[in-house]
Amino acid sequence: MKNYLIMILNALVLIIIGVYGYIISGSATALIAPAIGVVLFILVFPVKNENPAVTHIAVGLTGLAMIMFFVTGFMRSNLLIILMATATLIAFIYYIMDFLSRKKERETKKD
């Protein structure tokens, strides 16, 4: 699966669960996750065109969001936030695995 497809899925998870959390809680802080999801969704288009700078920005944002969601989810014992953190962790792991495989391909081509 391509990076941009994983990014779309992660963005949709963040948007859907975040909006659901806002509806059931009414807290404006529940909209942080959908905002991150929208930013990731906007970054999909340059990532699809294999823009390396934007790809690194998107991966960095995903990593920061993952840490933030895990810390907040465990502090509040909120299953929805932990679910978003888990989805973001899976996306982050996939990004790192893809970067490592691309690096290995480049090194193989040089030899």
Q: Domain of 97?
A: 3-110
Number of domains in the chain: 1
Non-local CB neighbours of 17 within 8 Å, separated by 6+ positions: 33, 80, 83, 84
Indicate the average pLDDT of the chain: 93
Q: What is the pLDDT, as a whole number, of residue 111?
A: 64
Check whether 3 has a pLDDT greater than 90.
no
Q: What is the pLDDT of residues 74-109, one digit of tens each?
A: 999 999 999 999 999 999 999 999 999 988 988 888
Q: Are 62 and 3 in contact (CB under 8 A)?
A: no
- Residue closest to 13 by CA, chosen among 63, 80, 71, 78: 80
Question: Global pTM?
Answer: 0.89
